[in-house]
Chains A and B, each alone.
Chain A
Amino acid sequence: KNQVEQSPQSLIILEGKNCTLQCNYTVSPFSNLRWYKQDTGRGPVSLTIMTFSENTKSNGRYTATLDADTKQSSLHITASQLSDSASYICVVSLSRGGTASKLTFGTGTRLQVTL
């Protein structure tokens, strides 16, 4: 069964600190991996998308890494801000031809940034 596992489930950090979120997947055949940010009460918003040939992708203070051999990804947040408080969801896409990607979602890491 295709699965996406994330850790930790939740995390509390002080404003200004860095943190790293982990994602392990068993989805096959793998097409691409995405990280989404979901604020409370809102829909997920895409942060990064990496294909199997990419091993890092940045979006401002967010940097995602991908190791397709070990099927692991991480999302590193630098100099955290209060507005980073949200759920971060790892999403893996199956390879499929002819139509848009079918996504498998992790259950997310709930991040809280405090003063």
Chain B
Amino acid sequence: DAGVIQSPRHEVTEMGQEVTLRCKPISGHNSLFWYRQTMMRGLELLIYFNNNVPIDDSGMPEDRFSAKMPNASFSTLKIQPSEPRDSAVYFCASTKYTLGAQVVETQYFGPGTRLLVL
């Protein structure tokens, strides 16, 4: 399995520009998570989807951030307009969640997208 795939791996943009990050979860997984990691705040959950439906977006910092999951194999995180304080590494993770399962699910992380907003 190729694991969680994210693109681009690096993105440099200017303040005010739109940024779109992409994620392909592991095939067969039904839950997808977007995280942001900074030196100051560590890893923070932005939003997560279960069966393509957004379940919890309480971590999305503001209206400039939006996320979609049009199908089970693709998700996007969009920032419009971008600001320098959005500079961070953005991770996508996926897992297979089964209601009532006895085994706690493991989240598998992608390699991340390193975003720099100038």
Contacts and interface: CB of A to CB of B under 8 A. Distances in A.
B45 A32 contact: no
Nearest to B114: A41
Nearest to A32: B104
A103 B107 contact: yes
A110 to B, nearest CB: 11
What are the nearest 3 A-B pairs in CB distance?
A43-B109, A100-B97, A100-B31
Interface of A: 31-32, 41-46, 49, 51, 89, 93, 98-103, 105-108
B48 interface: yes
Contacts of A98: 99
A102 B109 contact: no
A49 B104 contact: yes
Contacts of A93: 104
A63 B43 CA distance: 23
Interface string B23-65: 0000000010100000001111100101000011000000000
A45 B109 contact: yes
Contacts of B106: 46, 49
Contacts of A107: 41-42
Interface in B58-104: 91, 93, 95, 97, 99, 104
Nearest to A91: B43
Contacts of A101: 104-105, 107
Given A105-B44, A107-B42, A108-B42, A44 B104 contact: no
B104 A102 contact: no
Contacts of B108: 46
